[in-house]
Amino acid sequence: MDCNRVFVSKVKRLTIVFTLLIAFLSIKIDTFAQVDSAVVPVDSVVAESAHAASGEHGAEAGHGKEKFEPTKVIMEHIADSHMWHLWGHTSLPLPVILYTPAGLEVFSSAHFHHGEEDYKGTYNTYRLVEDHVKVIGANGQVDEATSVLDFSITKNVAAMFVAILVILIVFISVAGAYKKRVGKAPKGLQSLIEPIIVFVRDDIAKPNIGHKYNKFMPYLLTVFFFIWFNNLLGLVPIFPGGANVTGNIALTFVMALGTLIIVNINGNKYYWKHILLPDVPFWLWPLMVVVEVIGIISKPFALMVRLFANITAGHIIVLSLISLIFIFETLAIAPVSVAFVLFMDVLELLVAFLQAFIFTLLTALFIGMAVEEHH
Amino acid sequence: MVGSIAAIGAGLAVIGAGIGIGQVGGKAMEGIARQPEAASKIQTAMIIAAALIEGAALFGVVVALLGLNG
């Protein structure tokens, strides 16, 4: 009997909770329109998509309801840009540096007014077409014939400078501490960084390169910390972070190129013999040489694509989960999507470290294969 | 239409990676259970193998993404 009473009260409670849930779900975004615009920029996780939100609200107020396109918004956020979006309609204009056939041209991207206006420079008129600076000819159309080299400080470059600044501050202070405290136990920031440096040396460099590891430690440490700090800054949704630096194929290309050059410069005669004169029957030789030469290129290529795709995929997943709120047009989905975003962000913390680790580990492995003595 | 086929391609690539990484992880765990003292070595080898498999899958995903634009 007693049990039965408990059961009945539980059912009652469940019914109430369920009714409340249904009621909450049926509330549409119209009711929350005012609250929504206030909430979105405050929530730090949602901040990255605040641009999308404010854009949508602006459209609603202005000229009817504009359809929300998640793919467009996501691609806008992971791509490089000439301005750094801060919140709402506020962006940080970044310098545009162009090398035109006539000469160098430097101006602020604020002159484009978010791509709505053309800017008349010293030599040409420029327009922002899908975040690319294009030259406008005399007839008002985009002039593809004039080739312009774009050396602008874009969002990714600026974010990279931030990361470099952070790395410099951390490592100059740590190096200073080592000079000052010779023979003493590490202290403060030093004791945070030391285990990671020792980890790179003992778990990445030593087992894979062998006794010649010392020469390659600077490169491995630089690569490791540069990727790691950039990955972590990319996860920060507010201003100095949020750029998709390591998820940019150009950056990963340069890093992989560094590995390619270091591996092949340090390759000893056994490494080159293995590639050019492998121990195979002579009729297999032409095939093997081709395969081995492709192998030289394909190893850094895989490094490049792996880092790029992992970090970009992480950003896309986070932005897609945020986009769910705007696809369903209800605030009720927000707790679910924020919870998932939080989960993904924690997972991305692991991925940020893992990708830096993998890149360094595989670089060490390739160097190890190149410098290995014959046995 | 192109978009949906690209999505199917990305999905197929992920299936392959899932099977591959599942195998690697499962076998590594078996190995660690048998020989707990070799855990760190097995872990490193596992991560390398998983990264290589993932690399192959990511090629698929990236090609699917490129196909989306074309």
The domains of chain B are located at 2-69
B62–A207 CB contact, under 8 Å: no
CATH 1.20.140.10 at B2-69, yes or no: no
Out of A41-55, A104-118, A181-195, A262-276, pick the least confident: A41-55
Nearest to A305 among B47, B52, B62 (CB): B62
B51–A313 CB contact, under 8 Å: no
Question: Is pLDDT at A359 greater than 60 in this prediction?
Answer: yes
- The token pair that represents B25 in the structure block: 């992880």
Residue of A83, A32, A78, A73 whose CA lies nearest to A50: A73
Residues 6 or more apart in contact with residue A131 via CB below 8 angstroms = A76, A79, A80, A81, A82, A115
**Segments forming the whole domain that contains residue A45:** 27-89
Out of A46-55, A272-281, A340-349, B12-21, pick the least confident: A46-55
What is chain A's mean pLDDT, rounded? 80
Contacts of A306 in chain B (CB under 8 A): 51, 54-55, 58
Query: Which residue of A lies nearest to B54 if distances are taken between CA atoms?
Result: A306
Question: Is pLDDT at A36 greater than 70 in this prediction?
Answer: no
Q: Is residue A8 situated within a structural domain?
A: no
Question: Is pLDDT at A6 greater than 60 in this prediction?
Answer: no
Q: Is residue A13 situated within a structural domain?
A: no
CA distance A126 to A130: 13
Q: Is the dihedral of CA A219, A220, A226, A227 positive or negative?
A: positive
B58–A306 CB contact, under 8 Å: yes
Predicted ipTM > 0.95: no
Question: Same structural domain for residues A50 and A124?
Answer: no
Question: Same structural domain for residues A182 and A242?
Answer: yes
CA distance B25 to A353: 19
Number of domains in chain A: 3
Sheet holding A103-108, edge to edge: A103-108, A95-100, A149-150
Look at residues A72, A89, A106 and tell me which one is the last residue of a structural domain: A89
pLDDT digits 0-9 by tens, B25-35:
999 999 999 99
Higher pLDDT, A34 or A238: A238
Q: Is residue A85 situated within a structural domain?
A: yes
